[in-house]
Each structure stands twice: as structure tokens, then as C-alpha cells.
Structure 1
Amino acid sequence: MSFAVDRLRKRTDLDLKKWDSLWQLNRVRYFTFAIFDIFENNLHVRQNKRYILNYIKKHIKDIRGFYRPDFFDVDIVKVIKKILTEDKENKFLGDVFEIVKRLIIERRDDIFYLKAQRDSSWERGEVAKLLQDVYRKATSELKEKIYELIVSAFNLIEDDGEFSHYTPSDIFDILENYLIEAKPINIEQDRQNNKVLLESISKIKDLI
């Protein structure tokens, strides 16, 4: 197995779908670490990019049970960032958001709140940066979904900043940009609410 994997790691011309049965061996620890190296080396065609995104969405939960979550998240981010950078027409933007959403929701208790995870700050920062990359390319509708994800995933204001230093600064940057760009329905009320939120976010960012 290790010999075959080492050979595949050197290939840059694979049709990933044809090797689907092999990628299903993702519970073999050595092979799991190699899969994303192989994927990253084979982004030369759109079909492979689509396959990778679908593969991650399908297996994100079961692979993480056999893989150190922090390493898994970073490997995902590395591959997806390349796909997103090359995606000039934003064909994969929705898929990328869904994956980032899964990463955040499935780990929200330990990513954003548990002090025991303080040693994972770099890894969760990479996930947050990817979310910000998505936000920069997003439509107004997708920006709304990103905002709702952040608000629902953790309390940023109600905890008076108690956990702010465990939250990546990119999250606050997204919120700040969203509130600045927001077009309020009830102009006076929403403008006042946004002003209060922006002031709170500014104070929290100063603590980070």
C-alpha cells in the first residue's frame, strides 16, 4: 500500500474519479495523510476539482474520526484555497462555503469556545481566513449566509469579549465589513443597531 501511495503522490495527471475505490480507504491512517497531497497535485482539470469538493463533503465527518482534526482541517484548507483561487467564475464558491460551514459547525464548541483548544489557534485561523476569502467573492445572498453562520456558531457580543482571544480576527473583520455594507430595512433602527455592534466589534478586536 505505501509503495502505491508514494507512486501516486508523484502523479500530476490523474483522473481522480477513476481511482474512487482507492480513495475510499480513507480510514487507513497513512493513506489518509497522503490523500490530500495527491488531490493537491491533481487540480489540473475542473472534473477533479468537483470530485475533490464532493469527496470532502461526503467524508468530512468519518475521516475526522480517524485523523487529528486540526491537521485534517489544514489539509482541507490548503486544497480548497487553490481551487478557490483558480475559480475565476466562482463555480465552486457555494461548495466551498458548505465545507467551511461544516468545519465550523462540527467543531464550534472546541474551535471557538473551549480554552483547552488554545494550542489550535493557527489551524482555526486558517479556516477563518478561508471563510474570509469566500466572503470577498460572495454575492449579497451568500454574504448574508456567512453572517448568519458566524452569529449562530458563537456569541461574539453577549460574552463581553471573554472568549475573543480564542476567536480568529478574520471573523471580526467579516462581521465588520458586513455591517458596514449592510443596507438596513428600518433605516434609523438598523443604523443604530449596526453602530452599536461595530463599536463592540472594534473594542473586541483591540483585545485580540
Structure 2
Amino acid sequence: MEFSSFSVWNSLRITQQEVDWAVVIWFPQCIPKHAFLVWLIMRKKLLTQDKILKWGLERRKNMNMMCCLLCYADIDSHDHLFFECKFSAHVWSLVRSKVGMDTVDPKWSSIVNWLMSRRRLKTAASFVERILVGATAYTIWQERNARLFKNQTRPPDSLSEVILTTVRYKLMGMKFKPCASVRRLMGAWEIPDDVLKNDGG
């Protein structure tokens, strides 16, 4: 029998039915570390305080359970952090208009539903929406961890600037066909026409 790494991988891995939301997370233009975090959020696998609370009373007797370090108003659960927390909702409100998501509520379920409704679109704008959501979630999680582990804080406008800059730099490295809609998109992100690749796809 001929050896191949593919056959070994298939014999080791656990396969499950593909979920319908995978397409809005994993796509060629995604930022891998952002996509991985969004995947963890979708599966509710981040180690937030609501997860710790489920470990039981015996294991948390000596734990100092903290409120959300972004708004100090609730325990940081997945739903709270993305983006029902007043702080993260403010960050979301500062960036969502850049991709035409002004009407999308600051709730993870609402954002996912919006992306799912547009998942079959292959437009540059639809890819940018997904990239922005990933960048926003990643930046919020980074801020939460910086406050938890380093005692470092940034205001919402600083985080929104980080998010928009991240997406802009990503766009500058992507290949798009130089059509009218792409030129409008690039103009909205203040990216010059000469960045467009003639061989884009």
C-alpha cells in the first residue's frame, strides 16, 4: 500500500458534518488568526467567565470572579463580549457603517444572521464585511485580555482605529478585478486606484 500523509490524516482525524456558517469564517481572503477566533466564538469555546462558572461551586470557591473588564457591568460571556457589552457595542457602532452594517444590532446572532444571508455573494464588499467582523471580534478579545493580564486599557475610538487600519491594510494586499464597484469600495477605504491588481480574481 502506498503511503501518503493525506491517508494518515484521514485515519486520525475526527470528521463531523460541515456547519453552514463555516463559509462566512473560512474563505481565501480571511485573516487566519481572526478566522480562528471567530470559529472559537461560534463554538463558544473561549475561556470566558460563564464557562468558568459551569465548572461548579467546589472549583470556584477560592476564585475571585470578576465582572466584565470592558464595561464592569456583567460577567464576560460570549454573548456579552460580542457585542452586548456597552463598551464593545460602542466599538461596533464606530466601525459597522464602513461596510454598510449600520442597521445590524450589536448582538452576535444578528451579525451572524446578516453574514449568513449574504454568504453566497462573491462580491468584494461581502468579503470585507466578514473581514471587518473578524477584526472587530479579535480586537475586542485582545482588549479584554490586555486588561485582564497586563492592566492595559484603550478607549473605543482607539480600538476602532486599529480595526479599520487592519482591514484597510488587508484590502491593500488583496487582488480584485478593477471594476466600478471595486473602485467605489477602495475609494471608501481611501485606497488609491493604483493598488488594484489587473490580474485580480
Q: TM range, normalised to the smaller chain? A: under 0.3
TM-score, normalised to structure 1's length? Answer: 0.26
The structure carrying a bigger helix percent of its residues is 1
TM-score, scaled to structure 2: 0.27
Flag the structure with more relative contact order, 1 or 2, with Cα contacts below 8 A and sequence separation at least 6. Answer: 2
